[in-house]
Amino acid sequence: MLSVIPAPKNAKELGGIFVLPEKVKVKSDFELPLLEGKVEFCDSEEEASVIVIKDDKIAEEGYILGVTRENIVIFASKKIGVYYALQTVRQLAHLDTGGREVLCCDIEDEPRFGFRGLSLDVSRHFYDVDYVKKYLDWMFMQKLNVFHWHLTDDAGWRVEIKKYPLLTEIGSKRTCTQLNGWHSTKMEQKPYSGYYTQEQIKEIVAYAKERGITVIPEVDFPAHCAAVFAAYSDLACRDLKRDVPGYFGAKIPTKIFNQKDWNRTLCMGKEESLQFVYDVLDEICDMFDSPYIHVGGDEAPKDEWKKCPNCQRVIKENNLKNEEELQGWFENKLSQYLKTKGRQMIGWNEVLEGKNIDTSDKNIVVQYWTPKRDKNAEAYVNSGGKMIMSNHQSFYFDMPYAQYSLKKTYKFNPENFGVTNDNIKNVLGVEGEVWTEWIRGRERLEMLVFPRMQALSEVAWSPEEKRDFADFKLRLDDFKPTFDAMGINYAVDKISMLTNPFKRSKILKKFSKGNTELENQLNAQYKTKGER
């Protein structure tokens, strides 16, 4: 068995091994800056243990890898293909645990989907530059190529915007944080803050780019803006002074946090609100070179718009039917604005609710997330609209495994969510979501993300016919010493593959009653007992 995750498109074991020498010499048609200091570059094929040849016929991220007793030969059209071939060699050799032996093989590989994403919500809980780089390294190892960075939300604005300094001076700080899950009234009374400077953002974007990863920023409009309103209260329909909330549910019990009316949306009828969005997008586009900019659009309450004379004026002036169409009108504006800057807009599938979204130029990419099937989203992709699949049941990695086991991620298929066979081509790819309301630090984050990231990578990369859960499980077992060597706190099988319905419902019940750490604690106990 060739133990590689994600499973390559075509792979054949040949018998025999190649032993990587102490000092690996590489002759390469490409400059490979990530190998500087790790290998020795040379000009002679005879001397080299790894020979890299440019071949323009190979797909952009693809590679051909030949391992014989004599050497390793890699063909690729782009540097990223070479890096991916080397990631495959890294796994075959078990390099991270000190291995040097590579099974002789022929591999021909390329991805199923061009968009292979993973997100990180840094608003609810913040992760610093060094940790984000680690996260990118792990994605690179699994041939994932899109980092969706959820930079703004109610609980904190985390990206420096020079024109609106209060976004970070005020909007990145909260005084308390909810503990113990949804609806809990327990608050930790402790200041919480953090944001990235524009320099740090650019550093991350460059770091990701070196590893073939596009960073897509998400700045969430018109809702999830409580941190915006804490800084600039006049951008909402009603000018109310509110702090950045440390409470994560949609409705705050006022007895514990006297902040009624915090879950609101940007006013659509004020000149300065729209100008604010454009100004923020200008600076975002200067920081990020991604073809897509994510503008959120999910979970927007419309109650204030109903009562706001400014919003109602816009509805009237533009002959809109209702507040849903008002959001559609706003999303169309954002899409057109981004288009003038050469970018495509990504929005969560709620952006389609107004039915007046302009789909003629296909500039809007819809990210389908809702736990309930959405007819609008399915009609969109089946009529040629582009889509990213992040369906809750498979790709909401912040959910307990007791709710969505690893197999749910592994078994994902676009057809199960209404995409017809003819329209799979409109699916750009898949993305795992890592929301951090109940992820306060790296230990639980990694427990939830690993090995879901490995399953995701196989859904995103490997051909449908190569996907087999039992085979994946064997390769995953082989990978676990690498997790350990890298210090990754992965979930053991007894957590990630728990099938007993009684045990699962017990964990879920405790989760809903506020024990958000239970799986993490059990996982640690199992690990101490030697479970893998």
Element spanning 292, H or E: strand 292-296
**Residue 357: strand, helix, or coil:** coil
Using alpha carbons, select from 74, 228, 82 the residue that is nearest to residue 151.
228
CB-nearer residue toward ligand ACM: 290 or 436: 436
CB of 296 to Zn ion, least distance (A): 18
Total number of residues that touch ligand ACM (CB under 6 A): 4
CB-nearer residue toward Zn ion: 96 or 234: 234
Query: Which of these is catalytic: 224, 283, 374, 437?
Result: 224
* Site for ligand ACM contains 369 (CB under 6 A): yes
CB 198 within 8 A of CB 191: no
User: What part of residues 297-316 is at the interface with Zn ion (CB under 5 A)?
Assistant: 308, 310-311
| Partner from ligand ACM, Zn ion, none contacting 369, C-beta within 5 to 8 A by type | ligand ACM
* Site for Zn ion contains 237 (CB under 5 A): yes
- Which of 55, 261, 298, 358 binds ligand ACM (CB under 6 A)? It is 298
CB-nearer residue toward Zn ion: 136 or 300: 300
* Site for ligand ACM contains 403 (CB under 6 A): no
CB-nearer residue toward ligand ACM: 207 or 368: 368
Q: How many CA atoms lie within 13 A of 2 on its CB side?
A: 27
CB 120 within 8 A of CB 133: no
Query: Which of these is catalytic: 299, 358, 478, 484?
Result: 299
CB of 224 to ligand ACM, least distance (A): 8
The dihedrals phi and psi of 452, each to the nearest 5 degrees, come to -60, -35
CB-nearer residue toward ligand ACM: 127 or 435: 435
CB 295 within 8 A of CB 341: no
Describe the strand order of the beta sheet including 50-54 as a list of residue ranges: 10-19, 101-109, 63-67, 72-76, 50-54, 25-28, 40-41
| Partner from Zn ion, ligand ACM, none contacting 308, C-beta within 5 to 8 A by type | Zn ion
CB of 245 to Zn ion, least distance (A): 20
Query: Which of these is catalytic: 153, 160, 243, 517?
Result: 153
Residue 153 is a catalytic residue: yes
Helix axes 323-340, 271-287, angle to 10 degrees: 40
- Which of 18, 248, 330, 348 binds ligand ACM (CB under 6 A)? It is 348
CB of 307 to Zn ion, least distance (A): 8
* Site for Zn ion contains 267 (CB under 5 A): yes
DSSP string covering 452-519 = HHHHHHHHHHS-GGG--HHHHHHHHHHHHHHHHHHT--PPPHHHHT---HHHHHHHHHHHHTT-TTHH
Residue 299 is a catalytic residue: yes
Residue 155: C-alpha distances to residues 152, 190, 221, 228 (Å): 8, 14, 14, 10
**Residue 250: strand, helix, or coil:** coil
**Residue 429: strand, helix, or coil:** strand
* Site for ligand ACM contains 299 (CB under 6 A): yes
CB-nearer residue toward ligand ACM: 247 or 369: 369
By the criterion CB under 5 A, which residues form the site for Zn ion?
237, 267, 269, 308, 310-311
By the criterion CB under 6 A, which residues form the site for ligand ACM?
298-299, 348, 369
Could you give the residue numbers annotated as active site?
Answer: 153, 224, 299
